[in-house]
């Protein structure tokens, strides 16, 4: 709807009501509603145009009612003028705030694209589809992250969750992502890769945040190694349609806490993927979503039906919608989803 439509309609209704009801009802001051409504969506020029139309209508209705020269007419005109001045200020302030919000969103999108650029649709034997939701509705960046890097003979995947949410966790997320990208291509195994991420986090942050993470090394023959640092386990859906599998992992403390606890390094877990298998990685923004009674979202029970569509984008859309319906409002934490379809037969 045009910005001037509502103000014009309101003033015409006031004029019609005055003609039908007569001058005894004293409707002339209501013409000030036009400039007031114009401030909600229009520019200061729209406000002034509404004020001009309101002034004309006040004079015409005053002649029709036989009130020309009456004090009620001057009061109504003064009301239109003062309302227009205030509405111009409101409109200018609103438009300036809207421009600043557009700039902030542009910066957030740029940061998001630099921090976590969109994954290619395929890396090695994997078809990759990601979905990210920030806890801050005005931002597209936060503390949950995923990344995949091609390596000789396969792909290495990282899914992580920085303590906290929204913009406060972005700095630690950038450190983890940078360390993973630098170390993944040449680290001899996932244990060495995890040690380099742990060292980078200790050296480049103040040590006030920990990071849960799950590392995966997927080979072209289907051999998949998982290394867990306090992160939710992935959900494995076999191509044959059998019950979903939640691998039993040997978790270690999150990055940033290993030195404090002195716990030994986690033992890798080995899976063997078959052509057509689907692996869903997620963060606790999904697994810890709750309904009104406080029950956690039953991901393993609902995943087979929700992730059944062949199109991975549609599958993740259905999963997001189901979580929103389950909680009533959607999760209140950052959440990242990474759907990996093992398709070595389709690799170029």
Domain match, 32 and 162 both:
no
Distance CA 184, CA 319 (A): 30
Percent of the chain with pLDDT over 70: 90
Distance CA 184, CA 148 (A): 9
Name the pLDDT band for 277 (thresholds 50, 70, 90).
very high
Domain match, 62 and 167 both:
no
Please say whether the beta carbons of 273 and 224 come within 8 A. Answer: yes
Domain match, 188 and 334 both:
yes
Domain that holds residue 76: 5-109
**pLDDT tens, residue by residue, 95-132:** 999 888 887 777 766 766 667 778 899 999 999 999 88
Domain match, 103 and 157 both:
no
Residue 315 belongs to a domain with what CATH number?
3.60.40.10
Whether the per-residue pLDDT at 244 is higher than 60: the answer is yes
Give 148's strand partners. Answer: 157
pLDDT reported for residue 159:
94
* Residue pointed to by tokens 């229009």: 42
Domain match, 172 and 306 both:
yes
Domain match, 154 and 247 both:
yes
Domain match, 103 and 225 both:
no
Name the pLDDT band for 138 (thresholds 50, 70, 90).
low
**pLDDT tens, residue by residue, 201-214:** 888 877 777 899 99
Domain match, 46 and 127 both:
no
Domain match, 100 and 183 both:
no
pLDDT reported for residue 185:
93
Residue in 225, 216, 229, 228 with CA at minimum distance from that of residue 259: 229
Paired tokens of 341: 């379809």
Paired tokens of 152: 């000789």
Give 229's strand partners. Answer: 213
* Residue pointed to by tokens 């992580």: 160
Which pTM does this prediction carry?
A: 0.70
Please say whether the beta carbons of 289 and 232 come within 8 A. Answer: no
Whether the per-residue pLDDT at 272 is higher than 70: the answer is yes
- Final residue belonging to a domain, choices 109, 133, 166: 109
pLDDT reported for residue 83:
93
Name the pLDDT band for 133 (thresholds 50, 70, 90).
confident
Question: How many structural domains is the chain composed of?
Answer: 2
Domain match, 90 and 130 both:
no
Domain match, 309 and 330 both:
yes
Domain match, 121 and 68 both:
no
Residue in 320, 224, 322, 317 with CA at minimum distance from that of residue 278: 224
């Amino acid at each position: 709807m045009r910005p001037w439509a509502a103000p014009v309609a309101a003033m015409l209704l006031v004029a019609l009501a005055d003609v039908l009801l007569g001058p005894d009802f004293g409707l002339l001051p209501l013409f000030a509603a036009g400039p007031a409504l114009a401030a909600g969506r229009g520019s200061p020029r729209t406000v002034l145009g509404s004020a001009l139309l309101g002034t004309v209508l006040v004079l015409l209705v005053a002649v029709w009612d036989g009130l020309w020269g009456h004090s009620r007419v001057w009061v109504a005109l003064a009301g239109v003028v003062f309302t227009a001045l205030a509405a111009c200020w409101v409109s200018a302030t609103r438009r300036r705030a809207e421009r600043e919000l557009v700039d902030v969103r542009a910066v957030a999108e740029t940061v998001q694209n630099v921090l976590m650029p969109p994954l290619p649709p395929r890396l090695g034997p994997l078809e990759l589809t990601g979905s990210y939701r920030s806890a801050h509705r005005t931002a597209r960046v936060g503390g949950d992250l995923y990344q995949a890097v091609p390596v000789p003979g396969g792909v290495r995947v990282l899914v992580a969750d920085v303590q906290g949410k929204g913009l406060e966790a972005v700095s630690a997320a950038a450190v983890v992502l940078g360390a993973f990208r630098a170390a993944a291509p040449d680290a001899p195994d996932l244990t060495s890769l995890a040690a380099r991420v742990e060292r980078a986090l200790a050296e480049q942050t103040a040590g006030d945040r920990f990071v849960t993470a799950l590392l995966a090394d997927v080979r072209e023959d289907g051999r998949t190694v998982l290394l867990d640092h306090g992160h939710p386990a992935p959900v494995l859906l076999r191509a044959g349609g059998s019950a979903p599998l939640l691998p039993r992992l040997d978790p270690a403390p999150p990055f940033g806490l290993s030195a404090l606890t002195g716990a030994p390094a986690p033992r890798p877990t080995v899976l063997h993927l078959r052509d057509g298998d689907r692996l869903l990685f997620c963060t606790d923004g999904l697994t810890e979503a709750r309904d009104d009674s406080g029950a956690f979202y039953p991901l393993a029970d609902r995943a087979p039906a929700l992730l059944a569509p062949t199109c991975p984008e549609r599958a993740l859309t259905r999963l997001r919608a189901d979580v929103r319906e389950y909680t009533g409002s959607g999760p209140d934490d950052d959440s990242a989803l990474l759907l990996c379809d093992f398709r070595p037969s389709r690799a170029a």
